[in-house]
């Protein structure tokens, strides 16, 4: 089953091939691959080079640590994420280190870093499924997250598998074609809602 994006304009294969699976193979992630994933996140752009992203990671080969992290997802995500080899949380520091002022870009910049992590994963044959369904207060308590940081995302990391083993509801989602809004609903020109002329030429 191919999940490659059917794009209207050509895009790089790493971007077209990336998707967020629910079905993961029973195969561990090499530690050196995992290090490169976080290294890729590390080199993302950020406002004033603040690098507001932080991650907490657990490998299922450390059963207790993995169970703790799994318990920080919402129940709906725990159902499928319990079979993932590596779980992580994405957090942000909400103020700038240098002056303590609020960092308006922090969550956006975690997104930049997470996309870089995900593309590094794709290049290594791995997949990442980002989640917003986490339990921030539980994370704060279990991991001692300070007041100036906020848990925002969960990440499932591993090798995608065929969806045949998934429960019916998730299998249907996994097997459905990938859909996106048309580009003209996303990119505007002179005014909000007025499409940009991306098909014209000079």
Q: Name which of residues 54 to 93 contact a copy of itself (CB under 8 A).
A: 54-58, 61, 65
The stretch among 76-84, 142-150, 160-168 that binds a copy of itself (CB under 8 A) is 142-150
User: End-to-end alpha-carbon separation of the chain, Å?
Assistant: 40
Q: Which is nearer to a copy of itself, 145 or 166 (CB)?
A: 145
> Among 1, 2, 49, 168, which residue sits at the site for a copy of itself (rule: CB under 8 A)?
49
> Among 24, 73, 84, 111, which residue sits at the site for a copy of itself (rule: CB under 8 A)?
111
Tokens of 103: 């960092």
d(CA 197, CA 191): 12
User: Hey, is 89 helix, strand or coil?
Assistant: strand
- Minimal distance, residue 13 CB to a copy of itself, in Å: 9
The stretch among 32-40, 72-80, 162-170 that binds a copy of itself (CB under 8 A) is 32-40
d(CA 73, CA 78): 6
Total chain residues near a copy of itself (CB under 8 A) = 83
> Among 63, 76, 102, 108, which residue sits at the site for a copy of itself (rule: CB under 8 A)?
108
**Contact flag: residue 101 with a copy of itself (CB under 8 A):** no
> Among 23, 40, 87, 156, which residue sits at the site for a copy of itself (rule: CB under 8 A)?
40
Angle at the Cα of 149 from the Cα atoms of 144 and 150, rounded to 5 degrees: 95
Do the Cβ atoms of 92 and 106 come closer than 8 Å?
yes
The candidate with the shortest Cα–Cα distance to 124, out of 27, 5, 196, is: 27
- Minimal distance, residue 158 CB to a copy of itself, in Å: 15
Residue 74 CA: distances (Å) to CA of 92, 103, 130: 19, 27, 13
**Contact flag: residue 118 with a copy of itself (CB under 8 A):** yes
- Minimal distance, residue 24 CB to a copy of itself, in Å: 16
**Contact flag: residue 10 with a copy of itself (CB under 8 A):** yes
> Among 25, 112, 138, 171, which residue sits at the site for a copy of itself (rule: CB under 8 A)?
112
d(CA 22, CA 42): 26
d(CA 54, CA 157): 16
């Amino acid at each position: 089953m191919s999940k490659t994006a059917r794009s209207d304009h050509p895009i790089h294969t790493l971007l077209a091939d990336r998707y967020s699976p629910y079905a993961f193979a029973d195969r561990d992630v090499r530690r050196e691959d995992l290090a490169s994933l976080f290294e890729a996140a590390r080199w993302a752009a950020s406002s004033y080079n603040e690098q507001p992203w932080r991650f907490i990671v657990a490998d299922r080969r450390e059963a207790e640590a993995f169970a703790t992290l799994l318990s920080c997802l919402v129940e709906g995500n725990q159902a499928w994420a319990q079979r993932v080899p590596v779980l992580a949380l994405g957090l942000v520091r909400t103020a700038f280190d240098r002056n303590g002022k609020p960092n308006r870009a922090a969550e956006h910049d975690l997104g930049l870093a997470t996309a870089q992590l995900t593309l590094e994963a794709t290049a290594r044959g791995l997949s990442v499924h980002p989640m917003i369904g986490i339990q921030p207060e539980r994370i704060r308590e279990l991991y001692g997250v300070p007041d100036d940081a906020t848990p925002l995302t969960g990440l499932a990391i591993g090798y995608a598998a065929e969806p045949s083993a998934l429960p019916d509801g998730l299998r249907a989602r996994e097997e459905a074609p990938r859909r996106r809004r048309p580009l003209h609903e996303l990119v505007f020109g002179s005014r909000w809602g007025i499409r940009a002329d991306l098909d014209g030429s000079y």
